C-alpha cells in the first residue's frame, strides 16, 4: 500500500500534476451540463419536426403511386432532420457520460431515456405547432433545404399519373384556377367538382397538392386538393365545390 502511495506521489511530482482550482472545476461542470442540455433541446426539436413530416406524408396514396413500398418510405424519410436528431443526441450522450455521475448509468438506460424524451418532447412541439412553424421557416428561408425536399415531392410532378402540385397564381372563377407546378409549368385547373381537404379554400399563392386527371387539351381536372404542408391539414373539415348549371 505504501509502495502504491509512493509511486503515485512520484508520478504527481514528475508530471507536475496540480489539482483543479474550484473555480475552474465549476466552470467545466457548468459548460458540460449546458452542452448536454442544449444538445437535448435541439434533439427534441429535431424529433418534433421528424414527427411532423412523417405525419404529413401522404401514406394513403402509396397504392396509387408507381413506387414500391421501400421507395415510398425512402422518399418520406426526412433525412436532414434525422441527421440533426442523431448528431445532437449523440453529443448529449457523449457529454452526459462525462458528468460526475453519468458513468454510473448503463448505455442502454441512457439511450432509452433519450428515446423517451424525444418522443414526449417531440409530441409536445408537434401539438403546439412549433415543429411545423420551424419546418416552414427552414423551407421558406433556406434554399438548400428546399432543394433537399424536392425529391420528397417528386411524386407530385406526375400529372400523367394524376398527381400535381404547385402554387395557385390566379383564381379565374369558382370553377377554375391557374397553377404553376413544381417545375415551373403553368396549368389551368378545373375545380368544378373537387374535394378540398383540411380547411382549404381557393386563394392566390396557396401551395397545394392535387389528385385528379390530365385532359387531352393540356389542362388538369382536380378531384381532390390537399395543402402542400401546414397546420390546416390537421382539420378534418372538407367541402366540395360543385358545378352548378
What is the rounded average pLDDT of the residues 155-180?
A: 89
- For 174-206, write each residue's pLDDT tens digit: 889 999 988 889 999 999 888 888 778 888 888
The better pLDDT of the pair 170, 75 is held by 170
Helix (H, G, I), strand (E, B) or coil at 163: strand
Please tell me the distance from the alpha carbon of residue 197 to that of residue 220, in angstroms, as a whole number.
18
The better pLDDT of the pair 147, 241 is held by 147
22 class by beta-carbon count within 10 Å (0-12 exposed, 13-18 middle, 19+ buried): exposed
Helix (H, G, I), strand (E, B) or coil at 179: strand
Answering whether pTM is above 0.85, one says no
Q: Where are the domains of the chain?
A: 19-141, 155-242
Per the prediction, the chain carries an average pLDDT of: 80
Query: Which of 67-76, 100-109, 207-216 comes out lowest in average pLDDT?
Result: 67-76
- Residues in a beta bridge with 188: 178
C-alpha cell at 22: 474550484
Please tell me the distance from the alpha carbon of residue 211 to that of residue 221, in angstroms, as a whole number.
9
In which band, very low, low, confident or very high, does the pLDDT at 234 lie, cut at 50, 70 and 90? Answer: very low
Query: Which of 135-144, 160-169, 218-227 comes out lowest in average pLDDT?
Result: 135-144
CATH code, residues 155-242: 2.40.50.140
Amino acid at each position: 500500500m505504501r509502495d502504491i502511495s509512493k509511486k503515485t506521489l512520484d508520478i504527481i511530482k514528475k508530471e507536475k500534476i496540480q489539482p483543479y482550482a474550484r473555480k475552474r472545476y465549476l466552470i467545466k461542470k457548468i459548460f458540460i451540463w449546458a452542452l448536454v442540455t442544449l444538445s437535448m433541446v435541439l434533439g427534441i426539436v429535431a424529433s418534433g419536426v421528424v414527427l411532423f413530416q412523417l405525419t404529413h406524408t401522404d401514406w394513403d396514396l402509396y397504392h396509387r403511386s408507381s413506387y414500391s413500398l421501400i421507395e415510398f418510405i425512402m422518399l418520406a424519410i426526412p433525412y436532414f432532420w434525422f441527421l440533426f436528431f442523431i448528431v445532437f443526441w449523440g453529443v448529449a450522450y457523449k457529454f452526459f457520460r462525462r458528468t460526475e455521475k453519468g458513468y454510473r448509468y448503463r448505455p442502454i438506460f441512457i439511450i432509452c431515456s433519450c428515446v423517451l424524451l424525444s418522443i414526449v418532447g417531440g409530441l409536445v412541439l408537434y401539438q403546439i405547432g412549433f415543429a411545423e412553424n420551424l419546418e416552414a421557416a427552414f423551407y421558406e428561408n433556406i434554399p438548400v433545404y428546399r432543394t433537399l425536399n424536392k425529391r420528397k415531392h417528386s411524386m407530385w410532378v406526375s400529372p400523367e399519373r394524376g398527381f400535381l402540385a404547385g402554387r395557385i397564381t390566379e383564381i379565374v372563377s369558382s370553377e377554375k384556377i391557374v397553377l404553376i407546378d413544381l417545375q415551373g409549368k403553368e396549368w389551368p385547373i378545373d375545380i368544378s367538382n373537387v374535394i378540398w381537404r383540411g380547411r382549404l379554400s381557393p386563394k392566390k399563392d396557396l401551395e397545394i397538392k392535387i389528385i385528379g386527371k390530365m385532359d387531352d387539351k393540356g389542362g388538369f381536372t382536380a378531384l381532390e386538393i390537399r395543402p402542400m404542408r401546414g397546420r390546416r391539414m390537421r382539420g378534418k373539415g372538407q367541402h366540395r365545390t360543385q358545378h352548378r348549371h
